[in-house]
């Protein structure tokens, strides 16, 4: 069991709101996920979360899908137990961080320039801290949320959730009984619109699907000094180049249609055509543009053992992300683009999903945001990345991204995800904890 280290907080920071302390403590627990089981796991962070819940009388259960691959689940009774429950979840693992690339120690939780720095500050120990702060405030006040809340702090999201959300949904479905909606990461962050006297908050109501692919090329093995027209490495390189250069057409869904229309009305920017660099949307340009079409990025190449041998086979790994409802069309196009002779295998598949972007929960989020920020305008969007919400969608649980953050103008939010010098503004954390508390109390 890990307990908070009060001596680790500098004297001039002791007055910080609890959400900052919680986020800082979590950042200082290294939960790097290396995809191969060699990392420290989430056990220590899970014990910390359980301890913080226990302090205010919230019982929780620790579950392990593998050694030290630990998740935490708790249920808080609501005022109206006849209503379906709300699942509120976050993942405890983070992607690795090379300290040589950072301006600060990525696991020190340093406070500098009004921000909390460290791996997980945005993805997504900030949301974990906001959840903890909100429910701890509820518990201390003796106030019940509007309906039952199921809390889940999960392992292994960064590697696809096999030891976290997928495992929970498969092996402990009973802990999610009665849940019909869920909120988690990748939504609720703000964009300033100069001259409009409004601040846009993007709410995730859809997630692109994931198809991690392996491309295989075969050729004739031979001596590197001999002319060959059947070189597996060359075949693969040409296929990968064609895929990387392919222009994917616009594919709009109910969510992205509403997003493009409302952003155009509010800002005058056509996100389907305009270059977003230099516009108010620049800090999230990549997130918006990537949500409008399929994406297929070659990420790993493997071929040959030595410089003087032409290999008989070569392979590439591709991170494919497809628009909801179009996974078959996406896979067909990949096969067509890479061409004949290239084998395409799906290594891992996560379905895309989309919920009603005009539903009542969006209105509830708007109300909570407006209470803290009267200029708030809510617009739904489709996340270019998948989240743990995808694991719960097959259970009939509609997923939303709502980790509310009021960000300073120009803050490069998209670059924080998996990026170097990841950080979150302290005021944004405080805003998020207050907003999430309102949302859970009233809805």
Q: Are 208 and 384 in contact (CB under 8 A)?
A: yes
In the structure, what pLDDT confidence band is assigned to residue 195 with cuts at 50, 70 and 90? confident
Whether the Cβ atoms of residue 431 and residue 404 lie closer than 8 Å to each other: yes
Burial class of 46 by CB neighbour count within 10 A (0 to 12, 13 to 18, 19+): buried
Mean pLDDT is lowest, of 13-27, 29-43, 352-366, for 13-27
Mean pLDDT of all residues in 234-248: 97
Confidence of residue 237 (pLDDT cuts 50, 70, 90): very high
Q: Has this prediction a pTM greater than 0.75?
A: yes
What is the CA 326 to chain-centroid distance, rounded? 21
Q: How far is CA 222 from the centre of its chain?
A: 45
The structural architecture, per CATH, of the domain 206-350 is: 2-Layer Sandwich (3.30)
Q: Vertex 418, ends 414 and 419: CA angle to 5°?
A: 70
Residue 66 has a pLDDT of: 96
What is the CA angle 110-116-117, rounded to 5?
60
Does 6-185+360-373+382-442 match 206-350 in CATH topology?
Answer: no
Domain ranges of the chain: 6-185+360-373+382-442, 206-350
- Residues shown for the chain: 443
The dihedral formed by the CA atoms of 203, 156, 173 and 49, expressed in degrees to the nearest 10: -80
Rounded CA gap, 367 and 374, in Å? 9
β-pair partners for 223: 309
Query: So what's the pLDDT on residue 132?
Result: 98
SS3 240: helix
CATH of the structural domain 6-185+360-373+382-442, one choice from 3.40.50.720, 3.90.870.40, 3.30.2130.30, 3.40.630.10: 3.40.630.10
Max Cα distance, the chain (Å) = 79
Token digits for 343? 């084998």
What average pLDDT does this structure show over 119-144?
97
Measured CA to CA, the distance from residue 120 to residue 30 in angstroms comes to 9
């Amino acid at each position: 069991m890990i307990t908070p280290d009060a001596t680790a907080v500098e004297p001039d920071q002791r007055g910080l709101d609890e959400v900052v302390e919680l986020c800082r403590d979590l950042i200082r627990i290294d939960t790097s996920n290396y995809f191969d089981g060699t990392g420290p796991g989430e056990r220590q962070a899970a014990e910390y979360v359980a301890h913080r819940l226990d302090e205010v009388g919230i019982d929780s259960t620790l579950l392990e899908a593998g050694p030290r691959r630990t998740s935490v689940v708790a249920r808080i009774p609501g005022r109206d137990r006849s209503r379906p429950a709300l699942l509120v979840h976050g993942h405890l693992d983070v992607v690795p961080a090379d300290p040589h690339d950072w301006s600060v120690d990525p696991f020190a939780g340093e406070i500098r320039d009004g921000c909390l720095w460290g791996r997980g500050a945005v993805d997504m120990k900030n949301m974990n801290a906001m959840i903890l702060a909100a429910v701890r405030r509820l518990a201390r006040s003796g106030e019940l949320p509007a309906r039952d809340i199921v809390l889940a702090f999960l392992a292994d999201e960064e590697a696809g959730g096999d030891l976290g959300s997928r495992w929970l949904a498969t092996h402990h479905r009973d802990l999610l009984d009665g849940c019909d909606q869920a909120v988690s990461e990748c939504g609720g962050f703000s964009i300033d619109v100069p001259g409009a006297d409004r601040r846009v908050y993007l709410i995730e109501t859809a997630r692109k699907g994931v198809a991690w692919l392996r491309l295989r090329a075969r050729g004739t093995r031979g001596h590197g000094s001999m002319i060959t027209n059947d070189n597996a490495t060359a075949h693969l390189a040409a296929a990968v180049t064609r895929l990387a250069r392919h222009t994917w057409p616009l594919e709009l869904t109910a969510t992205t249609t509403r997003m493009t229309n409302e952003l155009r009305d509010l800002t005058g920017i056509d996100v389907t055509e305009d270059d977003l660099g230099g516009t108010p949307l620049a800090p999230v340009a990549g997130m918006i543009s990537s949500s409008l079409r399929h994406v297929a990025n070659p990420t790993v190449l493997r071929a040959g053992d030595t410089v003087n041998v032409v290999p008989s086979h070569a392979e590439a790994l591709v991170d494919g992300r497809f628009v909801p409802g179009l996974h078959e069309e996406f896979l067909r196009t990949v096969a067509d683009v890479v061409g004949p002779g290239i084998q395409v295998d799906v290594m891992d598949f996560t379905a895309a999903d989309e919920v009603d972007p005009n539903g009542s929960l969006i209105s509830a989020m708007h109300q909570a945001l407006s209470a803290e920020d009267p200029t708030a305008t809510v617009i739904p969007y489709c996340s270019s990345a998948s989240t743990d919400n995808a694991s719960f969608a097959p259970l009939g649980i509609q997923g939303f991204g709502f980790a509310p953050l009021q960000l300073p103008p120009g803050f490069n939010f998209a670059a924080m995800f998996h990026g170097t010098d990841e950080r979150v503004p302290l005021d944004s954390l405080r805003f998020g904890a207050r907003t999430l508390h309102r949302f859970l109390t009233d809805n």
